[in-house]
Amino acid sequence: MASVDEIVTLNIRGANLLAMRRAVEALESIDYVLVDAWTIPGIKIPQRGIIRGDLSVKSIAAASIIAKVTRDRIMRQLAQEFPEYGFDIHKGYATKRHRTAIALYGSCPHHRLQFLSSQPL
């Protein structure tokens, strides 16, 4: 994972690459890394980025599903802490309902303020 501060500092792509590097480094036994589209800077393990890899490589597709399910679980947990935002419904995407909740209640520590300022209400 990457924090809101890391996303703001590195941008979303940089934060994604950081999170991927952390995931790879947390594995104990790994010979080769397959990545959807990109390669991960800073890892010493051989790797290959495959364009649209989630469509052609089962392990990349599985990793994508695991990431989505994990993010959805985190959003449901945030919904318990911050029910006014409806994280369990929109999963953090800038839907009209989400933007309206931010306009009504302000932001919480999990919102990226730079992203919010670029989204019309």
Most confident residue range from 18-22, 88-92, 115-119: 18-22
What are the phi and psi torsion angles at 49 (to 5°)? -90, 130
For the chain, what are the domain ranges?
A: 1-51, 70-121
Beta-strand (E) ranges in 25-111?
A: 33-36, 47-50
Closest CA to 35 of 51, 12, 19: 51
Q: Are 121 and 95 in contact (CB under 8 A)?
A: no
pLDDT band at 117 (very low <50, low <70, confident <90, very high): low
Q: Are 84 and 96 in contact (CB under 8 A)?
A: no
pLDDT attached to residue 109: 87
pLDDT in tens, 9-51: 999 899 999 999 999 999 999 999 999 999 999 999 999 999 9
Cα 56 to Cα 23, 34, 98, distances in angstroms: 21, 11, 34
pLDDT > 90? residue 4? no
Q: Full-prediction pTM beyond 0.85?
A: no
Q: Are 110 and 102 in contact (CB under 8 A)?
A: no
Coil, helix or strand at residue 28:
coil
pLDDT in tens, 94-114: 889 988 999 999 989 888 776
